[in-house]
A and B are shown apart, each in its own frame.
Chain A
Amino acid sequence: MQNHFELFSLPVLFDIDAKALESNYRKIQSASHPDRFVSASAAEKLASMQLATSANEAYDTLKRPAYRAKYLLELHGIDATAETNTAMPADFLMQQMEWRERLEDAKTAKDISALESLTDELRSDAKTIQTKLIDLFDTSKDLAKATDETRKLIFIDKVSADIHQAIEQLE
């Protein structure tokens, strides 16, 4: 079974070539999408569904930094979100609590611009972590540290989604 990177003919790196990923994704969809097999046999339709679906899932995973990092760890047999992996550095725990508090306060105050600036901050922190991950995964290959940073990134993703939802509900 191919892994997601192999499916897109890309090297297994966190620093992914976004253009190549998109281009290859389109090529795969162009060759396998169900629209190309409307009059085909049931066997061909099945092959089409399976590949098009896999391509969509793989693309979704590799496109998003937090998911890509989590996936890279999985390839090494590490589950970033496993129960046993809950220990986080104290300063990050403080940061988590602060973000959560600010989210709740902004929701209560119905303050959309506070939510938006929180989103911007998180986006900036996420970018910093992503830069670290390029080094940790692709250069120094320090999986232990990569796991820590990945968990932070996953957390940021989750809070960002919650903020997104809060903004939606306020509009």
Chain B
Amino acid sequence: MALLQISEPGMSAAPHQHRLAVGIDLGTTNSLVATVRSSMSTVLQDDFGHALLPSVVRYAPDGDVVVGHEAQAQQSCDPVNTIASVKRFMGRGLNDITDKAHIPYRFVDSAPDNSNATKRVLQLQTRAGLKTPIEISAEILKTLKSRAEKSLGGELVGAVITVPAYFDDAQRQATKDAARLAGLNVLRLLNEPTAAAVAYGLDNASEGIFVIYDLGGGTFDVSILRLSKGIFEVLATNGDSALGGDDFDHRIYCWVLDKVRENSENFAPLSEEDTRLLLTKARQAKEWLTDNFDAQIVCKLSTGTLVDVTLTAAQLIEITQHLVTKTLSPTRKAMRDANLTIEDIDGVVLVGGATRMPHIRHAVQDFFKQEPLTNLDPDKVVALGAAIQANILAGNKNDNDLLLLDVTPLSLGLETMGGLVEKVIQRNSTLPIARAQEFTTYKDGQTAMSIHVVQGERELVSDCRSLARFELRGIPPMAAGAARIRVTFTVDADGLLSVSAREQSTGIEAHIEVKPSYGLSEDEITNMLKASFTSAEEDKKARMLAEARVNAGAIISSVSAALAVDGNLISEAERKAIETEIKDLESLTKAEDATAINKAVDTLNHATEAFAAARMNASVSRALSGKNLEDINL
């Protein structure tokens, strides 16, 4: 049977064509994009030779959106409209931001959907209007996307985007939403420490148990992984998604303010410009003190006050020691969860610019009683690892040598009577994972139910992080207590939760509406996407048709190939049914109705579910009965 070949836009159907995929480190302070070229993972530079893109977005007076070094240079003169460290606000609410007085942005707390008072969408007031952290992050991703496409000379097939391992569901979803707005196809959300482990693991060809200590601009992760025969298995992960280099800057800034206040009368609260100026000076001092004994902090505030103080390396250690100590608690917890002692650790890897600070390195060395590995650039290692995985997921490398088994960092639970949490999925469970729980109705004829899901380790709902409310509708009406509703909670490889519900006696699937506690709803995102399309109705139609045809071609191609290899796994009748669906789909692709094509693709998918399962089982049986070389060489 001839295979139907349809090219994707910008790519030929040639089987050896390299598919353009990248790894993106969307960092608090700096972002990077990397790719695998000629079997080497490399970070892509901009036209000026910069590898790092400062995660700074400015909404300029002329309507332009400026991202990167240029925006960073303008921070001090336009602090309200120049947003840095937006990652700290992703998936968060206004109440989560505890140091608002020292942050120069204008936060707005609004519930755009007044019918749901529990939802708070954090927004920033800029001259370009209200912006959510998701939209701001999307600007950074757009810049990286065009940098990559320009550098690689083609359209990207997809990207692996890294997130802190300790990011919760809301923070992860926000990252994925930002990617959507930027027009990126997310191949995988990858945990930063795991990405670093991939870069190190492959570079050093190591086997054993490694600790990744990752202190970035705004987040801290510690992950313990076992590397063995190309399988990277996360044993435990812990961290603090609100602890990073920024906090060290902040502490220095406060120290400077105290010094200035000592010496001047009537010290008024700082303007936004001066706040940004001092924070910048604080950061520069911190970086200077990595290699020097003291740093002079000199600047003139807009009030005319002269700041001239000297911070020594010893003083830096003193005023920030509590922050360093703060990183050791999650470290101990992760070790305990993994049931390991420091003797079991074969290597410790430092990731993130903040780990350049000498007192951090000493603390880690003291704790683990070994010198940490630092041979890869701590700023680039995450992007490099992400690019390696992107290369594999895009299908460029048929690599059965590398597999990442990651875990969920936080327990998932349900709210039950009295504001208590019933844990459904334990933290550090290997992904993907699914757990089912049965519920019943409380009133006669009840057709709806609301389930509140939270993340965290505490016993009270109020001490955990609210994830979302899942509203189940369409439950068949029955007597109270008669319905048996099986709710399945699934956390996928991206670490994202999805919920499905089925009434067991009738087999009816409930319709689920997700109301995220800290984030945008599906409707809100699609509206934003629609608003960003500048193309005319005609163009949009043409694009949708082209996409539908590409999807149809892909599935016809893969199912036909599967039938050729494993057709013997299903009955003649089933095979004929599938072939009929393929023929129907083929003829639809020649017509102009995108909706009909997509519907037929769905039908073909359903028709092949049993076949796909049979193939999977066969492939697993082959794997289990296969003999390894090691088994023979005993």
Contact = CB atoms under 8 A, between A and B. Distances in A.
A52 B431 CA distance: 8
Nearest to B430: A56
A39 B394 contact: yes
Interface in B442-470: 457
Contacts of B457: 165
B188 A38 contact: yes
A53 B434 contact: yes
B231 interface: yes
Interface string B400-430: 1001110000000000000000000000011
A35 B403 contact: yes
Nearest to B403: A30
Given A43-B609, A50-B613, A168-B336, A31 B433 contact: no
Interface in A12-65: 24, 26-35, 38-44, 46-53, 56-57, 59-60
Interface in B279-329: 329
Nearest to B488: A53
B623 A47 contact: no
B323 to A, nearest CB: 17
Q: Name which of A29, A43, A164 has the most chain B CB atoms within 10 A of its CB.
A: A43
A171 interface: yes
A56 B433 contact: yes
Given A31-B623, A35-B392, A56-B433, A43 B606 contact: yes
Contact of A34 (B389, B432, B602, B605): B432
A46 B609 CA distance: 8
Contacts of A167: 336
Interface stretch (B140-148, B205-213, B614-622): B614-622
Contacts of B69: none
B612 interface: yes
A77 B616 CA distance: 29
A30 B605 CA distance: 23
A27 B623 contact: yes
Nearest to B21: A38
Nearest to B435: A57
Interface string A102-125: 000000000000000000000000
Contacts of B605: 41-43
Nearest to A10: B624
A51 B619 CA distance: 11
Contacts of A168: 333, 336
Contact of B615 (A47, A56, A60, A164): A47
Contacts of B555: 41
Contacts of A46: 609, 612
B336 A47 contact: no
Given A31-B619, A168-B336, A24 B624 contact: yes
Contacts of B624: 8-9, 24, 27-28
B492 A30 contact: no
B587 to A, nearest CB: 19
A36 to B, nearest CB: 8
Contacts of B253: none
A35 B616 contact: no
Contacts of B429: 56, 60
A2 to B, nearest CB: 9
A148 B375 CA distance: 54
Contact of A47 (B188, B333, B392, B613): B613
A171 B329 contact: yes
Contacts of A8: 624
B620 A51 contact: yes
A43 B607 CA distance: 8
Given A30-B623, A40-B558, A49-B490, A35 B336 contact: no
B499 interface: no
Interface in B482-523: 490, 492-493
B332 interface: yes
Interface in B551-583: 554-555, 558-559
A33 B555 CA distance: 20
A14 B393 CA distance: 38
Given A38-B188, A56-B431, A32 B616 contact: yes
A75 to B, nearest CB: 19
13 contacts: A27-B624, A30-B400, A32-B619, A33-B405, A35-B389, A38-B158, A44-B558, A47-B612, A47-B615, A49-B432, A50-B613, A56-B431, A171-B329
Given A26-B403, A41-B605, A56-B432, 7 more contacts: A8-B624, A9-B625, A31-B622, A35-B188, A35-B392, A56-B430, A59-B430
The 8 closest A-B pairs by CB, nearest first: A47-B612, A43-B612, A42-B605, A27-B623, A43-B608, A47-B616, A38-B393, A34-B493
Interface of A: 8-9, 24, 26-35, 38-44, 46-53, 56-57, 59-60, 164-165, 167-168, 171
